[in-house]
Structure formats: C-alpha cells, structure tokens
Amino acid sequence: MALHGLSAGGCIDLILAEDLAVMAALQAARGQLAALVEAIEPKFTHPQSAGRLIYLGAGTSGRLGVLDASETPPTFCVGTDRIIGIIAGGDSALRKSSEGMEDDPRGAMGELRALGLNDRDSVLAIAAGGTTPYAVGGLEVAKHLAPGCLTGLLTCSPVAKPPHCDHLIVLQTGPEVLTGSTRMKAGSATKMALNAISTSLMVRSGRVYQNLMVDLRATNAKLRDRGARVIATVTGLGRDESLALLDRAGGRAKLAIAMHKLGLDADSAQLKLDTVRGRLGDLLDRVTPGG
C-alpha cells in the first residue's frame, strides 16, 4: 500500500521479493504442466497427421503466446504452422493495445476456422485472470469446430475448470505489487510455463539430442556459429571441420551430425533420419557407421 512512497531501491526490492512467488507457483503446478504436455504429445507427433499447438489470448497473455510460438522455428527448425499464437485484435495488438477485443467470447472464431482446426490440434487459452471471454470462449469455439481437439486453460488465478476445457493449469502467483498489473508476476510465470511446455514438447518430438539444439537450421551468422558448436560438441571435430560439415549438410546441424557419425553423404543420412522420424538419439543408438 506504500508503493507510491518508495525509493527506486525500495521499488526494486519489493518487486524482486514478490517475484520469488513465481517459481513457487510453477513448482506447485508441475503435475498440471506435465499432464498437458503428455496429452499434447501424441497429437503433435502423430506419424500420419501431426497436429498443431495453438495459443489463444488477449493483451499480455496473447503477446506471450505469440512470442513463444515465434521463437520455436529458429530454435527447433519446426514449421511456423506447427506452434501458432493468436492474439485478440490480430498482429497490430502486439504493439498497440486493443483490450476491447478481449470481451468477445467468439472473437477467435475467424482465426480458428481459417486454420482448419481438426481433432489432432491442441488449443491452449492463456488468461491471467482466468475469465477473459476471448480466451475462455475460444475453448468453446475450438470444441465446436473440432470436437476431438484438446483444450487447456493456463491461468494465474484459482478458478474452476470452465466448460470445454480438458486441462486446467493454475499458476497461483498471488496479488501483484501493482494491483491488477498482470504483466508482472503473472506475466513472468506465464512466460516460464510456456517455455516449459513448448521446450518439453520439442524434446519429446525428437528435436533435441542430449541438451543441444540439433534441429536448428543455420540461416544467419549467429546460428551458423551455434550450429558449428553443436556439431563440435557431439562429434569432437574442430571448428573449421564442423563449419565445413555444416555447409555440406545445407546448414542443418542434425543432418551434419548424422553424416559424420554414420559416414554417409547428406542424402543417405537424411534417409536414415527419416526412418526414425528425425530422432537423432534413436538413429545413433541403432545404426552402425556406414550402415
């Protein structure tokens, strides 16, 4: 209540002290987060018809969903159509607030219909307060368009599971230092939860080997350097050799590693990877060099 009279240092101390609640909230929701990833995984990785993960939210929650979705392609070389962020008000709402759009419970109908939502998809609504009509209503819209799709709600308030919601994840971060400013503790907790969800899903999808981003594609100087370091870590090659191998693999670190480990050219190594659905660990466990 005395926030308005605190010094700069006092403000920082108070905010950081309150932020300690973020990790506690995430730890308490560990089981809910794991259950959600376990439910999404078979849909997302289905060999005949892989599904998508779609984030749905308004305001800060929507922006965080779009951010997480946008960061998966360069990190994991996953298609931009596999993890999708939808925000109330469209892309313009990423920079300019359009909070009025959050009051329409059927506001996501157009975007979800345009995606051709199907039973392999998973829709995760994000709403710090747990009641945002655009987000919660989006779950009903999703079930209407694809009754077999998986739905979830990620919230930072203790709410009852709404209709049309298969999984409820509650991150109980408590009141904000600045009352109602959910871009603070709730925003931090939401960002961390989305990191955990998407990264765990990518790991379970075989897009990680050891703890390395083997599925990255070297599309710029930074990623080329990172790709070479990943290759060097797995193969033991020097930097120059790793860069040359990366170039022969068309900038694909995973393929470069498979080529070196199996003693094969790019096309042959890719065929081997295809037999294990791109899971490098499975390939290296079962195939001998040159075979």
> What is the DSSP secondary-structure string of 51-98?
--EEEEESHHHHHHHHHHHHHHHHHH---TTTEEEEETT-GGGGTS--
Per annotation, catalytic residue among 18, 41, 71, 241: 71
Q: What stretches of the chain adopt beta strand conformation (E)?
A: 53-57, 83-87, 122-126, 150-155, 167-170
Contacts of 135 (CB under 8 A, 6+ apart): 56, 57, 58, 61, 102, 125, 126, 127, 153
Residue 176 DSSP class: -
Q: Give the Cα separation of 33 and 256 in Å (integer).
A: 34
Name the active-site residue from 41, 102, 111, 241.
102
Q: Is 111 a catalytic residue?
A: no
Q: Is 102 among the residues known to form the active site?
A: yes
Active-site residue list: 71, 102
